[in-house]
Amino acid sequence: MKLTAELALSQVKINSRRSLGAIFATALSTALMTGVMCFVTSGNAMLVNFLGEDYGEYGGAYKTILFIPALILGLLIAFMSVTVISNIYESSAGKRIGEFGTLKCVGATRAQIRETVLFEGLWIGLVGIPLGLITGTLLGFVGVSIAGRYIDSFVELSRSIVMRPMEVSLPFVVSVWTYVFAAIFALVVVLVSAGKPAGRACKIKAIHCIRGIEGVKPVIKRIRGNRLAERFLGYEGGLGYINIKRKASAYKSTIRALALSITLILLLGSLSKQAAGIMAWMGDSMGNDMLVSLTSAMDEGVNPETGKEEIEILVPFSYETVSELTDKLMEYGIPIQAVGENRCTYNTVYDEGLVTDELREISGIVDEFGELETTVTTVDKDFYAKLCERAGVPLGSNILVNAYSYNDDGRMKEVVPFIEGVKEITLIDAADNRVDLKIDGMLYAKDLPENAFKSLAGDPVRVIVPEGDARYVTWFCDPADDEKFTVFARSVLDEKYPLLTEDTYYDLGYNVQISRANQMIKVMNIAIILGEIILTGLIMLILLMGFASVISTLSSNIRVRRREFAVLKSVGMTRGALEKMLYGESLCCIFKAVGKGTVLGILIPWMINLFIRRVFAVRYELPVAYLAVGIVVVALVVVLITRVEIGKLGKQNIIEDIRME
């Protein structure tokens, strides 16, 4: 064995407490990466079993969903791991400055000093990495098992909605590449973490090492105290502030780890708040009626003459067919409303003289061809008669729904799109064929309380016509026995739209769904909750790693200053004043960490929300409770560590500490 490796091993044994901290951090880092890799391999196995080797037609999208979060989590784990583990090695190298000086005096070269520190990291990795692989496998097994239960619930709900077999499960799969990748990752983290302090240690001159000043030039510039610290903590607090400024490099790693902890706690709180907002928004928007839905497949293309998007409805549902099915569903004996929609065939020619100022102000409401997106709606005859009565028009009339709700950068906003007295609008298709549609009456939001007119993403123009083909047809009702009604509705729709294959949407051109509206919301909620649980678990483990680093570095920073404290006591500083100074340093660390961590903890989720609010009406809100918890936790950790180390200082002998080299 090389001499430097033997020396490193002896240091690992002698400084067992510090070594255990490094082993713990290395093992936790390896475990986190192993756990993430277990999720990736298990998720890949689930998708391969369900979709095939290449994930089917939408393989690229599924690969993105699987691997992008894994990449982000991997980078987060790597950054926190390097921060934490490098703190430990820097602290170790700082305490061994005198030893390095002695080694240089007896002929040790720079390369040998560097090797000593790097070998120390390798010895620690030799124990920490296998422990991390084992722990990570257990962590992955528990996580995949929990996720598998949510996946089973997700599949069960989805099966009840789409009314066809779905065999999807999340097995626990781990491959040899999981361990190879996690081990290489951990080894790189250890070498990178040990590399910086190793490089610094080998560059310090022998005389500086022996004197224990780490080769740092004396600070000539006068450092000013902090009046606020002096006001609340006296001159001792001001001295603590000056110490933090003077020893910025020593406390840098501690402040960084604490700031990251605040950031992660705020990130967790913000994302949880936004997830809750998404679930609440979807629940408010969709109601809880029983829905019987028919959806036609469509063929999308571009009209070669006009350049407009052209959509062909492959299985259009005629008004006569919908009426026949409605009459049969009504035989169940409960009120049922049928609503058919066609959002594919027509747009409305934009006429500035017909629209309100509210609609004009909406950015992007008019497309490049000067058209407004349009939904042509048909309803069953009884519902249509009620709507005509509300609008004050005779049967056979065209009714304009003069209400438009949209997501205005994270806030739902409702506007009246058309002015009073509109008598005609012009519909236009992809081939530029125009139809002048007479408007006989209008209905506003207050006139349409039914869930049938609630929509997560409506169009600015919605017109109700007496008859017409539809791409979507939905029957709304509220049966007392959902299971019994589902069997009945299934038998009715099977007469015309049977589910003959596992995927009727692609094979036959249509799809049938029967479920409560909140079942669809539950499917989304399960996915959101699953992601939230996984994220929470990983963040808690990363926080644990961060606090382990803080405990190691902060306690080391106090211990290596025993001689300084002894000198201060020898010139008259009392124990109480010394404690006050150290608590002042702790408070300075807390304030700096809270300031930096809060800024990042607000900025990162706010930037994430910029993308979320494009789809969901959810704005960023500061998680005040999480911020308070983060500050309290960080403060308690720092103060408790300081308190423990202060207690140990009381047992030291001043003379021996001053003579200490």
For 215-241, how does the pLDDT look when each residue is reduced to its tens digit (9 = 90+)? Answer: 444 444 565 656 666 666 666 767 777
Q: Which residue has the higher pLDDT, 505 or 394?
A: 394
Mean pLDDT of 406-417: 88
pLDDT one-digit tens code per residue, 65-96: 556 666 766 777 777 677 667 766 666 666 66
Quick one: average pLDDT of 319-348?
94
The band of 386, judged by pLDDT with boundaries at 50, 70 and 90, is very high
The winner for highest mean pLDDT among 46-55, 423-432, 512-521 is 423-432
| Predicted pLDDT of residue 343 | 92
pLDDT of residue 216: 44
| pLDDT score, position 644 | 84
Task: Please compute the mean of the pLDDT values over residues 144-173 and round it to a whole number.
Answer: 69
Number of neighbours of residue 16 by Cβ within 10 angstroms: 10
Q: What is the tens place of the pLDDT at every residue in 596-613?
A: 999 989 998 898 888 888
The answer on pLDDT for 498 being more than 70 is: yes
Specify whether the CB–CB gap between 218 and 247 falls below 8 A. Answer: no
Residue with the bigger pLDDT between 516 and 300: it is 300
Query: Quick one: which H or E segment has residue 383?
Result: helix 381-391
pLDDT digits (tens, 9 = 90+) for 138-151: 988 888 888 777 77
Q: Are 560 and 94 in contact (CB under 8 A)?
A: yes
* Residue 488: band (very low, low, confident or very high) from pLDDT cuts 50, 70, 90: very high
Q: For the segment 177-195, what is each residue's pLDDT rounded down to a tens digit?
A: 888 988 888 888 888 777 7
Q: Where is 407: in which H helix or E strand? A: strand 404-408
Phi-psi region for residue 392, left (φ > 0), alpha (ψ -120 to 50) or beta? left
For residue 544, the model assigns a pLDDT of 75
What pLDDT score was predicted for residue 215? 45
Give the model's pLDDT for residue 219: 46
pLDDT in tens, 54-67: 655 545 555 555 56
pLDDT computed for residue 481 by the predictor: 92
Amino acid at 542: I
Please give the C-alpha separations between residue 516 and each of 157, 275, 279, 611, in angstroms, as whole numbers.
10, 22, 16, 29
Q: Find the range with the poorest average confidence among 99-113, 247-261, 452-466, 488-502.
A: 99-113
Q: What percent of the chain has pLDDT over 90?
A: 28
Q: Rounded to 5 degrees, what angle do the CA atoms 377, 379, 385 make? A: 120
Rg (CA), the chain: 34
Which pLDDT belongs to residue 439?
A: 95
Model pLDDT for residues 524-570, shown as the tens digit of each residue = 666 666 666 777 777 777 777 777 767 777 776 777 677 777 777 77
CB atoms within 10 A of CB 126: 15
pLDDT band at 318 (very low <50, low <70, confident <90, very high): very high
Instruction: Give residue 429's pLDDT.
Output: 94
3-state DSSP percent of the chain in helix, strand and coil, to 5:
65, 10, 25
What's the pLDDT at 294?
92
| d(C-alpha 19, C-alpha 32), whole Å | 20
What pLDDT is attached to residue 527? Answer: 62
Separation CA 266–CA 534 (nearest Å):
16
Cα dihedral sign for 528, 531, 534, 538?
negative
Per-residue pLDDT band at 453 (split at 50, 70, 90): confident
Mean pLDDT of all residues belonging to the chain? 80
Q: Highest-confidence range of 145-159, 218-232, 280-294, by mean pLDDT?
A: 280-294
Give the list of residues 6+ apart from residue 649 with CB closer than 8 angstroms, or none: 558, 562, 565, 578
Res 227: pLDDT: 66
Name the pTM for this structure: 0.72
